[in-house]
């Protein structure tokens, strides 16, 4: 009976790895989240994506999550992720479900996906390590990603206090493609 259980366990690991690959996860994420050999993960990646996985180190700065647009997307993701974890999802399943819901939400509003699955995974690791936390905005009450030891007593989020440059990237991209911005 133990043999059948290990086959089922391996099948579940392949299913999780396949889903992570389809979502765009890097090989390092797969190695950390599933118990399959590197060789099997490489073969699986090539089979699903039709190419070898990208090489190089993963991003390792908490500062990226503090910039205006990434902070809003990271905060949306972490609020969804925290809910999934509270519902009893296993960590990797919470990551996958939360990332799918994040993509659904930003897609619904026609926003670009700023957060990749690899960055979302890294974000959860920063939370687990106590490097990042959440703070409530004193204006809107929403919860946003902050550095753990940041003073947050009078915290105002990037949506309530937008930087002057916010939105200019989208406008510049529209202008570059020849699409005129609506007058208004």
Question: Is pLDDT at 49 greater than 70 in this prediction?
Answer: yes
Structure confidence by residue, pLDDT tens digits, 74-116: 999 999 999 999 999 899 999 999 999 999 999 998 889 999 9
To the nearest 10°, report the CA torsion of 156, 160, 166, 171. Answer: 160
Do 16 and 33 form a contact (C-beta atoms < 8 A)?
yes
Where in the chain are the domains?
2-49, 62-174
CATH of domain 62-174: 1.10.10
Q: What's the start-to-end Cα distance of the chain, in Å?
A: 69
Predicted pLDDT of residue 55: 86
Q: Which pTM value belongs to this model?
A: 0.84
Give me the mean pLDDT over the 31-56 stretch.
Answer: 94
Predicted pLDDT of residue 20: 97
Predicted pLDDT of residue 173: 45
Predicted pLDDT of residue 179: 38
H or E element in which residue 146 lies: strand 143-147
Predicted pLDDT of residue 87: 94
Rounded alpha-carbon distances, angstroms, from residue 70 to 77, 115, 163: 10, 7, 13
Structure confidence by residue, pLDDT tens digits, 125-171: 999 999 999 999 999 999 999 999 888 889 999 999 888 877 665 55
Predicted pLDDT of residue 169: 56
């Amino acid at each position: 009976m133990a043999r059948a259980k290990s086959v089922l366990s391996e099948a579940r690991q392949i299913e999780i790895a396949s889903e992570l690959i389809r979502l765009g996860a890097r090989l390092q994420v797969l190695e950390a989240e599933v118990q399959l050999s590197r060789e099997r993960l490489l073969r699986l990646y090539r089979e699903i994506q039709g190419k070898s996985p990208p090489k190089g180190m993963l991003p390792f700065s908490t500062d990226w999550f503090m910039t205006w647009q990434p902070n809003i997307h990271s905060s949306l993701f972490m609020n969804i992720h925290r809910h999934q974890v509270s519902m009893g999802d296993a960590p990797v399943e919470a990551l996958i479900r939360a990332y799918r819901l994040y993509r659904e939400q930003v897609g619904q509003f026609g926003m670009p996906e700023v957060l990749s699955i690899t960055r979302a995974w890294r974000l959860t690791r920063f939370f687990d390590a106590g490097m990042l936390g959440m703070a409530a905005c004193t204006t809107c009450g929403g919860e946003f990603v902050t550095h753990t030891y940041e003073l947050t007593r009078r915290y105002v989020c990037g949506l309530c206090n937008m930087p002057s440059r916010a939105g200019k990237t989208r406008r510049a991209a529209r202008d570059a493609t020849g699409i005129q911005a609506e007058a208004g």
